[in-house]
Structure 1
Amino acid sequence: MNRKSTILLILFSLLTLSYCYSKDEIEIFQFQLELTKKYGSKINIYKFLKLDTLESDDSNFDFNKLTRKQIVKQIRKLSTKYHPDKNKKYQKLYERINIAKEILLNSESKKTYDYYLKSTRGFPKYNYKKGGFYHSLEGKTQLNGVLLIVFICLVIFPILHFIYLKSDVMGRKMKLSQFVESILEQHDDTNGLGVKNLKFDTSKEQDGSQVDELRIKFGQVYSVETSGKEILMNPDDLIEEVNWKQVFPMNLIFKNKESSNKKLQ
């Protein structure tokens, strides 16, 4: 996999991750979807359990002020009234009351439900063609989602890209060091006190069409070019360290600048 493919794969994974929902969230979404299909788009758990009728002025009723005792008392009242033993047609309604109870009496589930209920984004929509639940941008600014993507692209992704580049450099340096050590171990019979020339047939067909020359010189390994120039095989000299200009998205900016400068020249 080349570098561009790796970058696109990581970016896609991060964006996918940012829109993933937990199992508990999905269960809450499914229940809310079931309620809206049955009772209309303005329904919520509190209205379903008639908790908004506990005060005379229900138009300004604040669900945050509900106590656990009030919720339990109302659920017991409804469970008694709509128990399937009294009438089998209440079976589905009774099941919904129990699901609502599990959500509201679990502090984490209630916190999650209240978050989406109050959020300007609301509860996500459902479309199996889009992979299930999703938040639509239609008619909503959804600044939080935009900021999240910007944060991922300008902070999280550059950090991950830097780590990837750094690990790639470290890996190449390690391989070169191991190669040099193996050359010295296998071919340096001078104990680091002399000079020895080595030639290796590196052609694919092993027909001598490509021969690389190395030179062991006083315990160090050199690559010898056709001109006779010696290049010390030192990983720190041959393999460039990661530069901040190579990190996304700076690499795209500087690449475009270099291309523009070349055109001007």
Structure 2
Amino acid sequence: MNNLFNLTGKVAIVTGASSGLGADAARAYAEYGASVALLARRKDKLDNVVKEIENNGGKALAVQCDVANEDSVKAAIDEVMKHFGQIDILLNNAGVATAGSVENMSVEAWDKVMDINVKGIFLMSKYVVPHMRDRKYGKIVNIASINAIIADKDPSLFRHSYNTSKAAVRGLTMGMAASYMQDNITVNSIGPGLFESEMTENTLFKHEPFLRAYNAISPAGRPGKKGELNGTIIYLSSDASSYVTSQHILVEGGIAIV
């Protein structure tokens, strides 16, 4: 029986791949046989992850890219196509979070979150989907958040722009899924709970009252560990999920159970 999770011969793009969950996903794609294009704004950090993948026998390419800038995205996709000749998988992972409620957040802070978390997925998909349609094959996985469906109650942790942007990711995922399944392109989203990453390590993980409360109400009793998101990412990026589209899979240790 063929291994449905085997990604040999596939090319995956990972945005926000310079650290944290994005870098972990890039390593996982390489472990399952895919060639990986790592995109982020910090090229030096990308180079370190690429070197690690290559040292383990994988194929990888570092491409500097600002997902909120159309010219930057277009140039990045052109570079990936020139280097690998195809794009089979797109993991839209790049994201930011800014604290604040609608009362005290600046328009500039709001726009930054929307530009990266929502516009970034729009732009990446805009320039990747045509290549997938040409080959009648594609896997798009959008990283949303548990905060697309639940919100923090602690005023010090209000992140209204983040809640809004991640709910928008869910809506965009459904719209794209309905449009592109006929082209054999599946589009799904993942809603991680709390994982340690560059985004959270200096904020939520240092907010001890929040962390204690999170662990107390989570059936798992803890945040997610390094690598625990990779199984879902590989599943949605492989032929194991060939008839799965528009789904939103929560990876959150049960904290959303009501």
Specify if TM > 0.5: no
Structure with greater Cα Rg: 1
Provide the TM-score with structure 1 as the length reference: 0.20
More strand per residue: 2
> Greater helix share, 1 or 2?
1
Q: Which has the higher contact order (CA 8 A, sep 6+)?
A: 2
